[in-house]
Amino acid sequence: MTVRAVPGQFTLVLHSHLPWLANHGRWPVGEEWLYQSWAGSYQPVFEVLRGLADDGYSHCMSLGVTPVLAAQLDDPHCGASMFEWLASWQLRAQEAALARRPHCAALGAREFRAAEHALADFETHWRHGGSAALRSLVDSATIELLGGPLAHSFGPLLDPRLRRFTLTEGLADTALRIGDAPQGIWAPECAYAPGMGEEYAAAGITHFMVDGPALRGETAMGATVSGDVVAFGRDLEISYRVWSPRSGYPGHAAYRDFHTYDHDHGLKPARVTGRGVAGPDKAPYDPDRARSALTNHVEDFVDRVRRRLIEQSARIGRPALVVAAFDTELFGHWWFEGPQWLDAVLRRLPEAGVQVGTLADARAGGFVSGTVDLGPSSWGSGKDWRVWDGPQVADLVAVNSEVVSTALDTVAKRLVHTDGVRDPVSDQIIREALLTVSSDWAFMVSKESAAQYARDRAFTHAHATREICAAADRGRDGQARRLAQGWQRADNLFGALDARRLDPGYTR
């Protein structure tokens, strides 16, 4: 039976990001977070995309990968440690399989096979770093790659000088890794302040993501913000069908429970079972039960996208756009069955008469209508800035402002005397300032998720910035260089960062 095509386009957007974690603790917060996300989300999601490419699918989604995550996926230390982590997973699974406890043998055998598969996948596709894995997806047009600022700072609260610098450096970093600079971005936290559209235009950005309320819920079309720069909004009705604390698919009783561990082996043995069921009382995970739920949720989502496109197209009198946007880490890391759901949905939507495309496709296809005076917004709680600028994080806001001001003042003074020669002290000052103002630290504090770790990280990088600046400002150049070298060894990222580009008189 031929399915009638529906008007418009559906676009899936995923945002891949973790803060810089290398050499900053391992467990319970630190590098373990990176390796869990790598094995749970990045490996299986990329495997899904390669499979779609092999079967002739293209323009499947817009995929954002932040430069700070890309740096970790390319980092030799992280790559070697990831391989060790996967081997440890397999050993823990083997121990579980041999344990004489109910359900342990089946759990261990299942996890052993999964770890074995992940090790083989890592050896085949990731041993040369994440950029190699990502570039094949870009070159095959399976995805549109979205970029972003060099470090994940909350743009509206950042000094415009550093905000412009971190954006252009971020795009250059992606071009260095992939071959081309992205024309679309997912700004950290979908945060926007008036005037940022002009900065996007100056950097060569043509489109970016905001949350639905930023466009007053009018997400059926993109809207021009500045010049030719288009803002696309997340359709909350469709997006919340997947990721809602109350009714989203991952909370279904049949899916694997994220929070419950077999602490002897570090494995996850249980299914959600029920919202009010305590961890020790949860039922064992049943893959067959999960597959049945997954089939239903795939069909439900496809049906809802079809209906949403029909309704929105009828409402606006032209083919409409529906954008569903999520953190990549939802798929696999948080929601174990998520990558399987992604694969099935991206195959079923075209079969159901839905045109699937990227944000770039939507812009080129004319899914843009009018201009919008975009106000202050984010995709955080309240859709405003409270998570990153509220009373709970007032100390971080103050530290961020002071550190950025100190860094920019010191670097400006040094650039006057460098005669155009690159200055590693200035470079490291800017690196540490950017690590200080990562939006992740305020988010973790506001959400009371490893808040002490977040504060420690912010204050550590703030201290690094201050002590390098203090030595430089006192004219103790040798000490400043030694401090800069020491901190660079501790945080070995963004080697191409060049503080001279903060100086408008410098040309590449």
Task: Return the active site residues.
Answer: 189, 327
Structure tokens at 171: 């795009």
Q: Which residues on adjacent β-strands are paired with residue 230?
A: 207, 224
∠ CA 493-486-82, rounded to 5°: 45
Residues 128-159 as b/e (b if ≥16 CB within 10 A, e otherwise) read ebbbebbbebbeeebbbbbbbbbbbbbbbbbb
46/42 Cα distance (integer angstroms): 6
DSSP string, 446-507: HTTSSHHHHHHHHHHHHHHHHHHHHHHHTT-HHHHHHHHHHHHHHS---TT--GGGGSTT--
Contact, 502 vs 408, CB < 8 A? yes
How many beta carbons lie within 10 A of that of residue 166, not counting itself?
27
Contact, 211 vs 379, CB < 8 A? yes
241/248 Cα distance (integer angstroms): 5
